[in-house]
Amino acid sequence: MTDIATIMRTSAVIPVLVIDDAATAKPLAEALVAGGLRVLEVTLRTPAALEAIAEMKKVPGAIVGAGTVVDTDQFEAVMKADAEFIVSPGLSQRLSDAIVSSGVPYLPGIATAGDIMRGLDLGLTQFKFFPAETSGGLKALKALAAPFYQCRFCPTGGITEATTPEWLAFDKVLCVGGSWITGGTMAEVEAKARVAAGLRG
């Protein structure tokens, strides 16, 4: 994968994963990929995250990125773990400069027109709309997207299986981020992933 737009178009839903035990990472990735969700975002919310990224990358077909990257130290750490893309909850100049300069696919979080304009200044046109529901939901994203015709989005935060089709029906949305897919047995995860993979359009 060479660019974030291609990665975003690979799966209708990107599972947002909080991994507490790295031993569970590979089986979880296998279940998600088997269900049709190849793009996996491992959030840096636990000490196991970096090891989990490395474990998930062992699964054929998995495209494994790091989420909740908030500073350059974390960026350097996830690069050592061979993360294939980076997701941040917001857009800061120092972090964005470092990631853009590296060439790694990058999906920064935005919630305002000013955020998007700062991203455009950096040459970015793909963004994570976060937190999606509490930032005004689909109505807000449609209003934000109107003046920025060149931009595409991955809404994340409060997205559910029930609301995903409505988000995906908006042509500026390439995918959504969701956490409802995980939990339960690996067979249950695979089944939920299969449903999620079929939600586009």
- Report how far residue 136's alpha carbon sits from residue 105's, in angstroms, rounded to the nearest whole number: 27
Q: Is residue 188 annotated as a catalytic residue, yes or no?
A: no
> What is the sign of the dihedral through the CA atoms of 180, 185, 187 and 188?
negative
| Phi, psi of 149, deg, nearest 5 | -60, -25
Q: Which of 67, 34, 45, 52 is nearest to 196 (CA)?
A: 34
Catalytic option among 30, 41, 55, 190: 41
Catalytic option among 57, 84, 128, 190: 128
Q: Is residue 41 annotated as a catalytic residue, yes or no?
A: yes
| Phi, psi of 11, deg, nearest 5 | -135, 135
With contact defined as beta carbons under 8 Å apart, do 132 and 159 qualify?
Answer: yes
The residues assigned a catalytic role are 41, 128
